[in-house]
Structure 1
């Protein structure tokens, strides 16, 4: 080990959205020399943030509140007058996190996230120059000539996660923040209960970096088959890694060795419907989030035995996609088939279902479709056809009793399979239309794991890491996916990037206090 420590005012472990926000906030708050270290090579900068769709969920007052910070809709344009975005209140945001988490999320953490969400988005727009857009392609449908946003989410970033990380890297460079790649953090130095530095591996040497403040933003353990199996069960060893292969639980081991307390849902994670032909242990830097397959509310999902296993219309996609990946993993073989007919295929998003993006299985009839699906792993084609037949009959019965109801993908339209004459044990609660008009389309999907929910206990107001006794560990902070106790079982889409930014700002700002 080098005998002469290098000194920094603040060191951030992790180069993703959360770590970048922390580093910039620390720099702005008075830390003259800020360093970001990441064990990944430069080509893998950005952690999981790079692989996202770039969505940020935030409290807002409606379309007029968001137009000043987006780049794709001039405030006085004709397009601006044809956009419907309902206000998303503190109660809405809080209620979504608590509802999807079964009442288990730490209420103080949730409050800190929700209360600071709008100010943080504004900071990203002003300070980071984040190229925000209204997410027409993911969160709106064109209905009766109007762009109708749904699911409480409207903001995204130009070029998705790639745009998020590009903006962060530019802002860090302009602020004079140093970034070292190929530099894993291997140990936290602690003296008399106070964190005083970080030991890293750099250029094949062990180097001690001295600092009064360390911010851990190294992600969860989703890329470690071993830790997934340990915490979540052996079946999770077969989930496909959606993002970076470098999130292998380093932050957990660093912090617990320094006395940090683990909290949260260690059996839970953000998992999604993922292309069954995607790589197993790493995301693709080119296709990135395009492996997501979130068109299931418009159709059905059936397993290899020809059975449905989720209510595809339970809620808007961004309230169900983070949990349905787990349900796919639980099916025989760990895969399923999404199916649509010609009435809805044009509504599928091009970036997820376009030619060259996914293997499409087309057929002019359902009989032809099941024959083709046998080659993809369908084991019981008769059961598959019977499931569709029973479903179609249930939809027709509902339509016969509710002829006034119209299909509308921008609202929960209540078109279901449950009527007075025919109801399914497993309903489809919204957007239920028959699958009976060819050509038919199917794609094979698997479970893609994005990030894990279990992590470190932090102080909601400062992002300081808490010890086993519940007291802050002096000099140690945490943000991003490594924060535990915020999400359980499921989460509302777009909350992850916002949470990383909110607690990253808190961590960076409070790290700078140690310089005073």
Structure 2
């Protein structure tokens, strides 16, 4: 760590978005580039470290993606099905999941910049992309069928992504100061002139014409979750870094920045109920995710179902079902499958040693064992599954040609039975033992409310003028107005890269 206090650009946050900004700044000709990170070096990478490394992007199908990936041979390619994913589909997914509330200009910037950003990450940063067979494809009739508009991941997930970034940052000569929280943004008139940080216990003034906030939302602050989201959100389990406590919002609003977006919304997923409460686990990381619910059922402590588990593909529902779990009695639920479905569960999430499994040879026996895990109404649990089985069986009798297929929305449902909530796809009766259950809670990943930014420059907007504050930029999870209520999986990392590159290019113009 040098004693220099003058830089071309200072970036707050060492995660994926901050790293992208620093590398793009180097590409734009900046020489003195500093990242300041609130956490210690052992927590480098922010929330990006805890992801699966998935990147959603516009693409033209398998031939377009193959040059990007490192895990597909020519022989394998002939047995893979990846449909093209258009800009219209990407836009539609964000807007429909967000109930048409996302800022259209921000969405367009993300979508239009997605393919170029992914190519840049592959070529410039050397991100080792893979086709996500383990998360986004099922082997059906000898072919790997990708689903849900998402195909790209990274080798070793978020851990591999951040490791790659750190190598690229070192090669670019970017300096990182750890254990260095940002305290205040400095102004010269109405333009940013630097940043005050706390370094080794002392306040230090750093000078720069551009500051980029890439320090995430407020998901790791119980107080701010309670303030903005209400309810039981102080009880949600933090999925990633414990250092995302709303600092970017505090810093920016202190100099008049405008807020924007869904401050009551967040990415909240089905999370292992036995995971730590206030921090992610650097070893197990994303393995605490429990995303196998479309293939089974979810029941609460009183033995009732509460969501349509087959409403859509997992990567279109997983970011909102954590909220549904938190709203249940006790803030937890049970995922349940029979023997026909358990073989389809991902080992990364449900393997031995990863999650506590409750097995039984009958539903009655399973209910009895779950009483020790918090199930309050054994009889209702049994009855709920029996009613579901009856509804699913009736549909199959009425539609004998319908086939269960996890790689498509198979329309194998409980339609016509009056079951509430219904199950719209993958409605296979839970009747063949042995039966498996796991206990899940709400894991909060990132919050949707953030700073208002210019979609073309990623410049943070002033509340009073509505114009960009000269020299202040924002990227990553702190961008407000992009997602509401829900979001399509893989959009976050892509958005972080898209707006990081915009911020770096615009900041370079200030030199």
Q: 1:305 corresponds to which residue? A: 302
SS of equivalent to 1:347: coil
Q: Map 1:217-228 onto structure 2 (within 5 A).
A: 217-228=214-225
CA positional deviation for 1:418:
1.3
1:345 maps to which of 342, 349, 372: 342
Match of 2:136 in 1: 139
How many residue pairs match? The answer is 508
Give the match's secondary structure for 1:79.
Answer: helix
- Which of 452, 455, 460 is equivalent to 1:460? 455
4+ aligned runs moved over 6 Å, structure 1? none
Q: Partners in 2 of 1:440 and 1:227 — Cα distance?
A: 40
Shift of 1:258: 1.1
> 1:31 maps to what in 2?
30
Structure 2 CA distance for aligned equivalents of residues 406 and 381 of structure 1: 32
Gaps of 5+ in 1: none
Aligned to 1:444: 439
Q: Equivalents in 2 of 1:497, 1:412: separation in Å? A: 26
Partner of 1:156: 153
Q: Give the match's secondary structure for 2:349.
A: helix
Shift of 1:166: 0.4
Aligned twin of 1:46: 45
2:93 matched residue in structure 1: 96
1:238-293: CA deviation from partner (whole Å, max 9, x where unpaired): 00000000000000000000110000000000000000000000000000000000
Normalised by the size of structure 1, how large is the TM-score? Answer: 0.98
What is the CA distance between 1:425 and its match in structure 2? 2.4
Q: Aligned partners of 1:506 and 1:240: how far apart in 2? A: 33
- Offset from partner CA, 1:141-174 (integer Å, 9 cap, x none): 0000000000000000000000110011100000
Deviations 1:47-84 (A, max 9, x none): 0000001000000000000000100013xx21000100
Aligned partners of 1:266 and 1:453 also within 8 Å: yes
Corresponding residue number in structure 2 for 1:507: 503
Distance 1:55 1:120 in 2: 13
Aligned pairs (5 A) from 1:357-396: 357-396=354-393
Pick from 174, 178, 182 the counterpart of residue 181 of structure 1.
178
Q: Is the 8 A contact 1:16 1:217 kept in 2?
A: yes
Matched, 1:201 2:183: no
* Structure 2: runs of 5 or more not aligned: none
The answer as to whether partners of 1:97 and 1:105 remain within 8 angstroms in 2 is yes
Residue 305 of structure 1 contacts residue 383 of structure 1 at CA under 8 Å; is this kept in 2?
yes
CA contact 1:228–1:234 (8 Å) conserved in 2: no
Identify the residue that residue 278 of structure 1 maps to in structure 2.
Answer: 275
* Residue matched to 2:61: 62
Q: Distance in 1 between matches of 2:182 and 2:27?
A: 24
Aligned-residue Cα RMSD (Å) equals 0.8
Residue 498 (structure 1) aligned with residue 486 (structure 2) = no
- Confirm or deny: 8 A CA contact 1:57 1:498 kept in the other structure: yes
SS state at 1:343 partner: helix
Give the superposition deviation at 1:5. 7.7
1:471 is aligned to 467
- Mapped to 1, the partners of 2:43 and 2:449 lie a distance apart of 24
Quote the Cα distance in structure 1 between the aligned partners of 2:124 and 2:177.
Answer: 22
Select the residue among 251, 264, 267 that pairs with 2:264: 267
What residue is the counterpart of 2:400 in the other structure? 403
Structure 1 segment 98-113 matched on structure 2, within 5 A:
98-113=95-110
Tell me how far apart the structure 1 counterparts of residues 504 and 373 of structure 2 sit (CA, whole Å): 49
Could you tell me how far 1:344 is from its partner in structure 2? Answer: 0.7
Query: With structure 2 as the length reference, what TM-score do the two structures score?
Result: 0.99
> Residue 423 of structure 1: CA displacement?
2.8
Provide the rounded CA distance (Å) in 2 between the counterparts of 1:369 and 1:109: 48
Q: CA deviation at 1:30?
A: 1.4
Shift of the 375–461 alpha-carbon distance from structure 1 to 2, 3 Å rule, reads same
Indicate if the aligned counterparts of 1:113 and 1:502 stay in contact, CA closer than 8 A. yes
8 A contact 1:269–1:450 mirrored in 2: yes
